[in-house]
Amino acid sequence: MKYMDEFRDPATAKKLVEEIKRLAPIARGQRDMPLQIMEFCGGHTHTLFKYGIESMLPADIEMVHGPGCPVCVLPMARVDDCVVIAEQPGVIFTTFGDAMRVPGTCKSLLQAKADGCDVRMVYSPMDALAIARKNPDRDVVFFALGFETTMPSTALTLLQAHREGLKNFSLFCNHITTPATMRAILTDPDLRLDGFLAPGHVSMVIGAHPYDFVTRDYRKPLVITGFEPLDILQALWMLVKQFAEGRCEVENQYARIVPEAGNVEGLKAIAEVYETREHSEFRGLGNIGDAGIQIRETYAAYDAERKFKLQAAASTHDPEHLKCADVLRGVMKPWECPAFAKTCNPQNPLGALMVSPEGSCAAYYAYGKLAKRKENT
Amino acid sequence: MKYMDEFRDPATAKKLVEEIKRLAPIARGQRDMPLQIMEFCGGHTHTLFKYGIESMLPADIEMVHGPGCPVCVLPMARVDDCVVIAEQPGVIFTTFGDAMRVPGTCKSLLQAKADGCDVRMVYSPMDALAIARKNPDRDVVFFALGFETTMPSTALTLLQAHREGLKNFSLFCNHITTPATMRAILTDPDLRLDGFLAPGHVSMVIGAHPYDFVTRDYRKPLVITGFEPLDILQALWMLVKQFAEGRCEVENQYARIVPEAGNVEGLKAIAEVYETREHSEFRGLGNIGDAGIQIRETYAAYDAERKFKLQAAASTHDPEHLKCADVLRGVMKPWECPAFAKTCNPQNPLGALMVSPEGSCAAYYAYGKLAKRKENT
Amino acid sequence: MNLAGTITLAHGSGGRAMHQLVDNLIRQTFTNPLLEEGEDQARIPLAELVAQGDRLAFTTDSYVVTPLEFPGGNIGTLAINGTVNDLAVGGAKPLYLSCGFIIEEGLPLETFARILQSMRLAADEAGVQIVTGDTKVVQRGGADKLFINTAGVGVIPAGFNPSAGGAQVGDVVIVNGWLGDHGAAILNARGDLALEADIESDCAPLNALVEAMFAVCPDIHCLRDATRGGLATVLNEFAERSNVDMVLKEEFLPIRTPVRGMCEILGLDPLYLANEGKLVAVVPITAAQAVLAAMQRIPEGYHACIIGAVMEGDGHVILQTAFGGERIVDMLPGEQLPRIC
Amino acid sequence: MNLAGTITLAHGSGGRAMHQLVDNLIRQTFTNPLLEEGEDQARIPLAELVAQGDRLAFTTDSYVVTPLEFPGGNIGTLAINGTVNDLAVGGAKPLYLSCGFIIEEGLPLETFARILQSMRLAADEAGVQIVTGDTKVVQRGGADKLFINTAGVGVIPAGFNPSAGGAQVGDVVIVNGWLGDHGAAILNARGDLALEADIESDCAPLNALVEAMFAVCPDIHCLRDATRGGLATVLNEFAERSNVDMVLKEEFLPIRTPVRGMCEILGLDPLYLANEGKLVAVVPITAAQAVLAAMQRIPEGYHACIIGAVMEGDGHVILQTAFGGERIVDMLPGEQLPRIC
Amino acid sequence: MCLGIPGQITELVDLEFLVAKVDIGGVKRDVIITCVVDDEHPAESCVGDWVLVHAGFAMSRLDEEEAARTLALLAELGDMQAEIDLMRQVETST
Amino acid sequence: MCLGIPGQITELVDLEFLVAKVDIGGVKRDVIITCVVDDEHPAESCVGDWVLVHAGFAMSRLDEEEAARTLALLAELGDMQAEIDLMRQVETST
Ligand code: SF4
Ligand code: SF4
Ligand SMILES: [Mg+2]
Ligand SMILES: [Mg+2]
Ligand SMILES: [Mg+2]
Ligand SMILES: [Mg+2]
Ligand SMILES: [Mg+2]
Ligand SMILES: [Mg+2]
Ligand SMILES: [Mg+2]
Ligand SMILES: [Mg+2]
Ligand SMILES: [Mg+2]
Ligand SMILES: [Mg+2]
A362: which chain C residues are within 8 Å (Cβ-Cβ)? none
CATH number of E5-62: 2.30.30.140
Please state the atom number of ligand 2 nearest to the C-alpha of residue B352.
7
Of B8-17, D106-115, E48-57, the poorest mean pLDDT is in B8-17
Name the closest residue on chain F to residue A71, using Cα atoms: F1
User: What burial letters (b/e) apply to D241-254, b meaning 16+ CB within 10 Å?
Assistant: bbebbbbbebeebb
H helix or E strand, kind and range, residue D184: helix D181-190
Cβ of A304 below 6 Å from ligand 1: no
- Look at residue D122 in the predicted model and tell me its pLDDT: 98
Question: Region C109-129: what's the mean pLDDT?
Answer: 98
**CB of A76 shorter than 6 A to ligand 1:** no
Distances (CA, A) of C200 to C189, C260, C301: 9, 14, 17
Instruction: Note whether residue D204 is domain-resident.
Output: yes
Residue of E nearest to B19 (CA): E81
> Could you tell me the distance, in angstroms and rounded to a whole number, from the CA of residue D105 to the centre of ligand 4?
21
Query: Domain containing D267 — which CATH number?
Result: 3.90.650.10
CB contact under 8 Å between C41 and D272, yes or no, is no
Centre of ligand 11 to C-alpha C273, Å, is 28
* Ligand 1 pocket, residue A71 CB under 6 Å: no
* 3-state SS, residue C311: strand
Query: Do D89 and D147 lie in a common domain?
Result: yes
A20 in contact with ligand 1, CB cutoff 6 A: no
pLDDT tens sequence for chain B (377 residues): 999 999 999 999 999 999 999 999 999 999 999 999 999 999 999 899 888 898 899 999 999 988 888 888 888 889 999 999 999 989 999 999 989 988 888 899 999 999 999 999 999 999 999 999 999 989 999 999 999 999 999 999 999 999 999 999 999 999 999 999 999 889 888 778 999 999 999 999 999 999 999 999 999 999 999 999 999 999 999 999 999 999 999 999 999 999 999 999 999 999 999 999 988 888 777 777 788 999 999 999 999 999 999 876 555 667 778 888 888 877 888 889 999 989 998 888 888 888 876 688 888 887 766 665 555 55
Which of A151-160, A285-294, C228-237, D309-318 is the least confident region? A285-294
Are D200 and D94 members of one domain? Answer: no
A350: Cβ below 6 Å to ligand 1?
A: yes
Rounded to an integer, the average pLDDT of A319-337 is 84
Q: Would you list the domain boundaries of chain F?
A: 5-62, 64-94
- pLDDT grade for C253, boundaries at 50, 70 and 90: very high
Which chain B residues touch C266 with a CB distance below 8 Å? 97, 123
Distance from CA of C288 to the nearest CA of A (A): 55
Alpha-carbon span B53 to B11, nearest angstrom: 14
ipTM metric: 0.93
Q: Which residues line ligand 2 (CB under 6 A)?
A: B 322-324, 327, 334, 337, 339-340, 344, 350-351, 353-354, 361
Query: Which of F2, F5, F25 faces D257 most closely, judged by CB atoms?
Result: F25
**Cis bond upstream, residue D67 (ω within 30):** yes
Mutate to test the interface with D, among C81, C149, C317, C328 (most CBs of D within 10 A): C149
In the predicted model, is pLDDT for residue C172 greater than 80? yes
Whether residue B373 lies within 8 A of chain C, CB to CB, comes out as yes
Highest mean pLDDT pick, A4-8, A267-271, B106-110: A267-271
Asked if D94 and D211 sit in the same domain, the reply is: no
* Neighbouring chains to C with at least 3 Cβ pairs closer than 8 Å: A, B, D, E
Residue B45 per-residue DSSP state: H
Mark whether C23 and C146 lie in a shared domain: yes
How close is the Cα of C43 to the center of ligand 3, in Å?
Answer: 23
Q: Whose CA is nearest to atom 3 of ligand 2?
A: B322
Query: Å from A89 to nearest chain B CA?
Result: 10
Phi, psi dihedral angles at C195 (to 5 degrees): -95, 155
The model's pLDDT over A203-260, given as tens digits with 9 standing for 90+, comes to 999 999 999 999 999 999 999 999 999 999 999 999 999 999 999 999 999 999 999 9
Residues in CB range of B297: below 8 A, 6 or more apart: none
H or E element, residue B222: strand B222-225
Q: What is the largest CA-CA distance in chain C?
A: 67
Q: Is C106 part of any domain?
A: yes
Q: Is B139 within 8 Å of B90 (Cβ atoms)? A: yes
Instruction: Judge if D144 and D245 occupy the same domain.
Output: no
Flag whether B touches E (3+ CB pairs, 8 A cutoff).
yes
Ligand 1 atom 6: the closest Cα is on which residue?
A: A361
Residue of chain D whose alpha carbon sits nearest to that of C40: D86
**DSSP secondary structure, A305-351, as one string:** HHHTTPPPPP-PPPPTT--HHHHHTTSS-GGGSTTBTTTBBTTB-SS
C54: buried, middle or exposed (CB in 10 Å: 19+, 13-18, 0-12)? Answer: middle
**Shortest-distance atom of ligand 2 to CA B332:** 5
Q: E58 pairs with which residues across the strands?
A: E53
pLDDT value at position E93? 59
Q: What percent of chain A has pLDDT over 90?
A: 68
Q: In the Cβ-directed half-sphere of C283, how many Cα atoms lie within 13 Å?
A: 26
| Touching chains F and E? (3+ Cβ pairs < 8 A) | no
| DSSP H or E segment with residue B22 | helix B10-28
> CB distance A56–D325 less than 8 Å?
yes
C317-320 vs D55-63, strand pairing mode: unpaired
Q: How far is CA D14 from the centre of its chain?
A: 31
Set of chain D residues whose Cβ sits within 8 Å of the Cβ of A366: 327-328, 330
> Are C151 and C180 members of one domain?
no
Look at phi and psi of residue B106 and say left if phi exceeds 0, alpha if psi is from -120 to 50, else beta. Answer: alpha
pTM over 0.90: yes
How many domains would you assign to chain C?
2
> Which has the closest alpha carbon to A111: D280, C6, C15, B272?
C6
CATH assignment of the domain containing C70: 3.30.1330.10
> B74, B318, B337, B348: which to mutate for ligand 2, most atoms within 8 A of CB?
B337
Which of C58, C63, C67, C66 is CA-nearest to residue C86? C58
CATH superfamily of B1-28+38-372: HypD, alpha/beta domain 2 (3.40.50.11740)
Q: Which of the listed residues B322, B336, B365, B367 should we mutate to test ligand 2's pocket, taking the one with most ligand atoms within 8 A of CB?
A: B322
Instruction: Give the Å distance between the CA of D86 and the centre of ligand 8.
Output: 6
Q: Is omega for the bond preceding B189 within 30 degrees of 0, making it cis? A: no
Contacts of B137 in chain A (CB under 8 A): 89-90
Give the span between the Cα atoms of B233 and F76, in whole angstroms: 111
Residue F61 has pLDDT above 60, yes or no: yes
- Chain A nearest C-alpha distance from F72 (Å): 11
Q: Does residue D337 fall inside a structural domain?
A: no
Range of the domain at C290: 172-328
Secondary structure (3-state) at C103: strand
Task: Judge: F64–A256 Cβ closer than 8 Å, yes or no.
Answer: yes
Bridge-based pairing state of the strands A281-282 and B35-41: unpaired
Give partners of D (≥3 CB pairs < 8 A). Answer: A, B, C, F
- The answer to whether E30 contacts C194, with C-beta atoms less than 8 Å apart, is yes
3-state secondary structure A9-66: CHHHHHHHHHHHHHHHHHHHCCCCCCEEEEEEEHHHHHHHHHCCCHHHCCCCEEEEEE
Interface check for A51 against chain D (CB to CB < 8 A): the answer is yes
Residue D209: pLDDT band by 50, 70, 90 thresholds? Answer: very high
Contact between C230 and C178 (Cβ < 8 Å) = no
Task: Please list, residue by residue across C279-288, b when 16 or more beta carbons sit within 10 angstroms of its beta carbon and e when fewer do.
Answer: bbbbbbeebb
C-alpha C248, offset from chain centre: 22
Q: Among A122-126, A326-330, D105-109, which stretch is predicted with the lowest mean pLDDT?
A: A326-330
Distance between D267 CA and the closest CA of chain F, angstroms? 7
- Closest by Cα among D64, D27, D54, D314 to D169: D314
Chains touching E, CB cut-off 8 Å, 3+ pairs: B, C
DSSP classification of residue B98:
G
On whether both D141 and D186 belong to a single domain, the answer is no
Whether C323 and C196 map to the same domain: the answer is: yes
Residues of C in contact with B50 (CB under 8 A): 321, 327
Q: Which of C14, A354, A376, A370 is nearest to D328 (CA)?
A: A370
Query: Cα dist. A218→A40, A183, A213, B142 in Å?
Result: 16, 9, 7, 74
Higher pLDDT, B75 or A358: B75
**In which band, very low, low, confident or very high, does the pLDDT at A360 lie, cut at 50, 70 and 90?**
confident
Nearest-CA distance from B115 to chain C in Å? 16
Select from B70, B229, B369 the Cβ nearest to the Cβ of C328: B369
By the 10 Å C-beta count (0-12 exposed, 13-18 middle, 19+ buried), D35 is classed as buried
The pLDDT-based confidence of A356 (bands split at 50, 70, 90) is confident
